[in-house]
Amino acid sequence: MIVSKLTLRNFRNYDYIDLDFSPKLNVIVGNNAEGKTNIVEAIYYLSLARSFRTSEINDLIKERRQFATIEARVENLPTSKQIVALLTPSSKKISLNGKQVRRISDLAKLVNVIVFEPKDALMFHDSPLVRRNFLDINLSKKSPVYLESLIEFEKLLKERNSILKQEEIDKIHLDVVTKKLIEVEEQIVRYRLAYISELNNVLSKIVKSIKGDDDEAILNYNPFIRMDEKFSQACASAYMKNLESDIKHKATQIGIHREDFSLNLNGKDIATHGSQGENRLVVIALKLAPYFLIEDESDKPIVVLDDALSELDYVHRQHLLKFVSKMGQVFITATELNVSNATIYVVNNKNITRRNT
Ligand SMILES: Nc1ncnc2c1ncn2[C@@H]1O[C@H](COP(=O)(O)OP(=O)(O)O)[C@@H](O)[C@H]1O
Ligand SMILES: [Mg+2]
């Protein structure tokens, strides 16, 4: 899929802009704080009805304005659709060809955007939540069943935690909820294991291409309970064993909500052994990996690399540019970039000029 046209009104620092994009490489250049990220943020917004930078709608609406709109033409050949997001301080409404979209999951199928943003470079130094989010977002986009399991899990976890907070714990209720929780967790762990293994099938190839060395990158994910035929039994006894501590903390201490994964580059943990540049390159590779797990060409996601190249040396920049130029629609933001075969957008004082190289 590609975004061929984007119109913003009162979005971030823009009053009004209207842009046509290339189906291949789009490079947005400009000085700091000119509004480069704001453009790719608007594109990303259309995929999840939320920003990757803020959870406040007000941040997205231009100061002293009452509303903002993001309008886009999305082509998923042979069809072409008009998506409009209307943001007010208290609401967001998304419409598709004039009809309101009620479920965000319907949106993700229509506009799938994968993004690397500067803070991702330290993804393996960040909290486990950041890594779980990466898994959960990508898996949910791929499998609606996973998303449903995750929502069900959150509901059951809340219920279990509220039982743990009772003065007098209702053991029968707790047993019922724990049993249901384990069933959902088994599903989730199976999905996570399968997805990590799929990611591992493509990750080393991407790392080799953009690092240019013969590197091996492997994700390690160990479920909180080993996945085999005894999973639910082992889970039940783990919850039993942990019950006293759960009651003391008034919260469920073990489960899929505490899981994590790590990445080994050539046998060494990237978090403790990798250089900053290695961390950045490997995370870029990981962020690009879901692209290669989507088979249907017309469903391939739009790729956003926000300020990804700034701290890379010349050689690695060239490798990365060559790599992404073989992908579908790609947006790169940078303060300066010499690149051929791209459409360049120069952002200057809220004006954007377009040229081809
Ligand atoms: N809601 C808003 N109203 C007006 N200006 C905004 C709003 N949100 C951000 N800005 C401005 O947008 C600019 C930052 O844009 P950004 O896209 O992050 O820049 P960069 O080109 O460095 O990526 C800043 O000047 C900031 O003040
Ligand atoms: Mg920026």
Q: Where are the alpha helices (DSSP H) in 49-170?
A: 57-60, 104-110, 128-142, 144-164
Sign of the C-alpha dihedral computed for residues 21, 296, 94 and 83 taken in this order: positive
Atom of ligand 1 nearest to the CA of 307: 23
Q: What is the pLDDT of residues 318-332, one digit of tens each?
A: 999 999 999 999 999
pTM: 0.95
Cα(350) to centroid of ligand 2, in Å? 14
What kind and span of H or E run contains 8?
strand 2-9
Confidence of residue 256 (pLDDT cuts 50, 70, 90): very high
Those residues with Cβ within 8 angstroms of residue 153's Cβ, 6 or more apart along the chain or in another chain: 181, 184, 185, 188, 256, 257
Q: Hey, where are the domains in the chain?
A: 1-112+294-357, 126-289
Atom of ligand 1 nearest to the CA of 35: 17
What pLDDT score does 164 carry? 98
Superfamily of domain 126-289: RecF/RecN/SMC, N-terminal domain (1.20.1050.90)
Cα(307) to centroid of ligand 2, in Å? 6
Q: Which of 13, 115, 117 to probe ligand 1 with, by most ligand atoms within 8 A of CB?
A: 13
Confidence of residue 156 (pLDDT cuts 50, 70, 90): very high
Q: Is the pLDDT of residue 109 over 80?
A: no
Q: What is the pLDDT of residues 262-286, one digit of tens each?
A: 999 999 999 999 999 999 999 999 9
Q: Which of 231, 252, 230 is nearest to 243 (CA)?
A: 252
Cα(32) to centroid of ligand 1, in Å? 9
What pLDDT score does 357 carry? 80
Which ligand is nearest to the Cα of residue 335, counting in written order? 1
> Region 214-218: what's the mean pLDDT?
95
- Ligand 1 binding residues, C-beta < 6 A: 12-13, 30, 32-38, 59, 61-63
Residue nearest to atom 19 of ligand 1 (CA): 33
Cα(111) to centroid of ligand 2, in Å? 22
Residue nearest to atom 17 of ligand 1 (CA): 35
> Region 249-266: what's the mean pLDDT?
98
Q: How far apart are CA 31 and CA 137, in angstroms?
A: 31
Domain covering 1-112+294-357 assigned CATH 3.40.50.300 in the classification: yes
> Residue 89 corresponds to which amino acid?
P
185 near 153, Cβ under 8 Å?
Answer: yes
Cα(280) to centroid of ligand 2, in Å? 16
